[in-house]
């Protein structure tokens, strides 16, 4: 999936005659695009942009049609210009397709980039708007003879780095603008009066299945979100997804064997983030996995737990599609009385009780601490009541042992059946030391790691920020 909302982030346009091989056997243009691909992820927080680079010689109208379509659906057009480029009709067709569609306007010429691999005979011979565009020269003259710069030259590296920086900056601007536009449009749309299904972003191998489900819902006049693909990257994705989730009456997620991509600013990954956010919002959830997918073949432990979760339906895709329509078509239930409380239960061992009190003091919602004194049977009864009644269960893993955390989580799993719905379960892991594994995992458990030495059982307030953000405080 592209970094921007376009099908391709960058379209590289060039004349094949300029892809002259050197002693390495590789062409000049091929080496340029390979070097550019390596530089961009570091400048895009680890995200890899999708680049259209055609290796084939244009030999048919079918091939030209493919090039026009790709250029039209690209965020940035990068031309490798030369006298040959200016003379070729195919390159002119590519440029015309880019500037003729794809939200292009004359005021946004910063989406057009050009590098010269050879000195032009006449820059005014370049097709419009390249004839007035400032190109970066990748050539030098020796005795009045123009020669392309070689990748081994320092001047080549400096110029390439400058081009990569400028392209990365523009890609970020395009993505941020698209995210803002999508968020504004979503906020302005009226809430749907009937059922609305939110189809979670899938891994690449399930995109076709997701489109089949969307089309199937359309046959029954059931609206499906998102209206447009989500912008990629943590902040932009979260903003667009939460806007749609607030409007959805049913959350549907297709799950494959891979947990999918994890951008640097969303370390849990798109798949896990969407599932956890839907659970926290208490929207009805339907998840699917194929009967052919065997859990013991899934290497990632956290994703394996998600695949075995209580909302996952193991069925053919056709059977699941029908189940989604049945669920979405059900008349809305009359709302019952609101819950009596929105209790946050902060469970802690005696060694971590001061830290639990510190967390409680920062919260505005109703909260409770464990009662650790009194008859053992009364202490246990109070603990169980809090676990059953709370909307958020917080486990403090500071000075205590993994065995204590493990015992509390086992008790929770035994009591989960007494609840109408599972709570959010947050484990606060204080590091150092880093090795605080207890071997317990289940779908609703989220671990929040904070760093800081426990001074008299307390943490610096700044260290508690991730905990308070996770709790909404």
* DSSP secondary structure string for all residues of 42-65: HHTTTPPPPEE---SPP-SHHHHH
pLDDT recorded at residue 414: 86
Check whether 221 has a pLDDT greater than 60.
yes
Check whether 265 has a pLDDT greater than 80.
no
Are 207 and 159 members of one domain?
no
**If you average pLDDT over every residue of the chain, what do you get?**
86
Q: Tell me: the pLDDT tens digits for 120-133?
A: 888 888 888 888 88
Cis peptide before 283 (omega within 30 of 0): no
- CA 82 vs CA 86, 156, 328, 380: distances in Å: 6, 17, 58, 80
Are 114 and 230 members of one domain?
no
Report if residue 337 sits inside a domain: no
Last residue of a domain, one of 176, 208, 226: 176
- The sign of the CA dihedral 87, 15, 1, 37 is negative
pLDDT recorded at residue 335: 45
Confidence of residue 446 (pLDDT cuts 50, 70, 90): confident
Are 160 and 21 members of one domain?
yes
Report if residue 69 sits inside a domain: yes
* Buried b or exposed e, range 7-36, using 16+ CB within 10 angstroms: bbbbbbbbbbebbeeeeeeebbbebbbebb
User: Which stretch of 178-182, 313-317, 338-342 has the lowest confidence by average pLDDT?
Assistant: 338-342
Are 79 and 120 members of one domain?
yes
Check whether 301 has a pLDDT greater than 80.
yes
Are 41 and 147 members of one domain?
yes
Confidence of residue 332 (pLDDT cuts 50, 70, 90): low
For the chain, what percent of residues have pLDDT higher than 90? 41
pLDDT recorded at residue 420: 77
For the chain, what percent of residues have pLDDT higher than 70? 91
pLDDT recorded at residue 348: 93
Check whether 419 has a pLDDT greater than 90.
no
Between 34 and 101, the more confident residue is 34
Report if residue 339 sits inside a domain: no
* DSSP reduced 3-state for 164: helix
Of 33, 125, 116, 122, the C-alpha closest to 82 is: 116
Are 60 and 159 members of one domain?
yes
Q: Tell me: the pLDDT tens digits for 79-115?
A: 999 999 999 998 999 999 998 866 666 556 789 999 9
Tally of structural domains, the chain: 3
Confidence of residue 337 (pLDDT cuts 50, 70, 90): very low
Average of per-residue pLDDT across 70-75: 90
Report if residue 354 sits inside a domain: yes
pLDDT recorded at residue 193: 53
pLDDT recorded at residue 101: 67
Report if residue 147 sits inside a domain: yes
Of 165, 170, 182, the C-alpha closest to 236 is: 182
User: Which stretch of 132-146, 281-295, 445-459 has the lowest confidence by average pLDDT?
Assistant: 445-459
Are 123 and 256 members of one domain?
no
* Rounded distance between C-alpha atoms, residue 335 and residue 375, angstroms: 40
Average of per-residue pLDDT across 175-189: 69
CATH of the domain at 152: 3.40.50.10140
Check whether 377 has a pLDDT greater than 90.
no
Check whether 139 has a pLDDT greater than 60.
yes
The continuous run of DSSP H or E covering 448 comes out as strand 445-451
Check whether 264 has a pLDDT greater than 80.
no
**Phi, psi at residue 137, to the nearest 5°?**
-75, 125
Are 81 and 198 members of one domain?
no
The continuous run of DSSP H or E covering 396 comes out as strand 392-397
pLDDT recorded at residue 18: 93
Between 58 and 222, the more confident residue is 222
**Phi, psi at residue 249, to the nearest 5°?**
-100, -10
Of 132, 163, 3, 177, the C-alpha closest to 74 is: 3
User: Which stretch of 269-283, 373-387, 427-441 has the lowest confidence by average pLDDT?
Assistant: 427-441
Average of per-residue pLDDT across 194-210: 90
Last residue of a domain, one of 149, 176, 203: 176
Are 152 and 278 members of one domain?
no
Average of per-residue pLDDT across 350-366: 89
Confidence of residue 204 (pLDDT cuts 50, 70, 90): confident
Average of per-residue pLDDT across 440-458: 80
CATH of the domain at 442: 3.40.50
User: What region does 340 belong to: left with phi over 0, alpha with psi -120 to 50, or beta?
Assistant: alpha
Report if residue 338 sits inside a domain: no
pLDDT recorded at residue 188: 61
Average of per-residue pLDDT across 316-323: 90
Report if residue 185 sits inside a domain: no
Check whether 59 has a pLDDT greater than 60.
no
pLDDT recorded at residue 179: 73
* Rounded distance between C-alpha atoms, residue 243 and residue 226, angstroms: 10
Are 171 and 110 members of one domain?
yes
Are 302 and 358 members of one domain?
no
Last residue of a domain, one of 329, 352, 374: 329
Confidence of residue 51 (pLDDT cuts 50, 70, 90): very high
Check whether 457 has a pLDDT greater than 90.
no
Average of per-residue pLDDT across 311-324: 89
Of 6, 28, 226, 238, the C-alpha closest to 101 is: 6
pTM of the model: 0.48
Between 335 and 295, the more confident residue is 295
Report if residue 334 sits inside a domain: no
- Could you list the residue range(s) of the whole structural domain that residue 315 is in? 191-329
Joined tokens for residue 302? 């956290």
Are 397 and 351 members of one domain?
yes
Average of per-residue pLDDT across 31-36: 96
Between 401 and 2, the more confident residue is 401
């Amino acid at each position: 999936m592209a970094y921007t909302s376009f099908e391709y982030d960058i379209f590289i346009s060039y004349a094949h005659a300029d892809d002259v091989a050197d002693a390495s056997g590789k062409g000049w243009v091929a080496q340029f695009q390979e070097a550019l691909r390596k530089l961009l992820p570091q400048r895009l927080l680890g995200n890899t942009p999708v680049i259209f680079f055609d290796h084939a010689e244009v030999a048919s109208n079918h091939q030209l049609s493919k090039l026009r379509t790709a250029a039209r659906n690209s965020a940035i057009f990068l031309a490798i210009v030369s006298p040959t480029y200016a003379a070729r009709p195919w390159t002119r067709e590519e440029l015309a397709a880019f500037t003729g569609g794809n939200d292009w306007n004359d005021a946004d010429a910063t989406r057009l980039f050009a590098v010269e691999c050879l000195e032009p005979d006449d820059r005014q011979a370049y097709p419009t708007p390249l004839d007035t565009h400032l190109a970066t020269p990748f050539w030098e003259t020796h005795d009045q003879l123009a020669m392309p710069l070689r990748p081994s030259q320092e001047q080549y590296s400096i110029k390439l780095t400058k081009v990569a920086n400028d392209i990365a900056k523009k890609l970020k601007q395009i993505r941020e603008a698209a995210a803002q536009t999508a968020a504004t449009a979503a906020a302005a749309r009226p809430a749907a009066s009937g059922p609305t299904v939110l189809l979670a972003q899938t891994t690449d191998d399930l995109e076709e299945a997701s489109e089949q489900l969307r089309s199937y819902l359309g046959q029954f006049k059931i609206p499906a979100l998102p209206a447009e693909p989500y912008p990629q990257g943590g902040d932009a994705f979260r903003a667009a997804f939460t806007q749609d989730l607030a409007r959805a009456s049913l959350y549907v997620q297709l799950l494959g064997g891979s947990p999918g991509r994890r951008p640097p600013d969303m370390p849990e990954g798109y798949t896990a983030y969407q599932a956890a956010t839907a659970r926290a919002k208490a929207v009805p959830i339907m998840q699917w996995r194929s009967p052919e997918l065997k859990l013991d073949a899934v290497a990632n432990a956290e994703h394996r737990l998600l695949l075995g979760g209580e909302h996952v339906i193991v069925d053919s895709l056709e059977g699941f599609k029908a189940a989604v329509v049945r669920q979405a078509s059900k008349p809305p239930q009359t709302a019952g009385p609101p819950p009596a409380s929105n209790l946050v239960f902060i469970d802690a061992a005696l060694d971590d009780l001061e830290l639990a009190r510190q967390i409680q003091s920062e919260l505005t919602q109703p909260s409770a601490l464990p009662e650790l004194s009194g008859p053992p049977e009364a202490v246990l009864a109070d603990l169980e009541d809090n676990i059953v009644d709370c909307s958020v269960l917080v486990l403090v893993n500071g000075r205590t042992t993994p065995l204590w955390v493990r015992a509390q989580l086992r008790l929770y799993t035994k009591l989960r059946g007494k609840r109408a719905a599972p709570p959010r379960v947050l484990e606060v892991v204080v590091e150092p030391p880093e090795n605080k594994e207890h071997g317990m995992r289940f779908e609703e458990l989220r671990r929040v790691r904070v760093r800081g030495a426990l001074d008299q059982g307390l943490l610096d307030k700044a260290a508690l920020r991730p905990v308070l953000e996770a709790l909404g405080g």
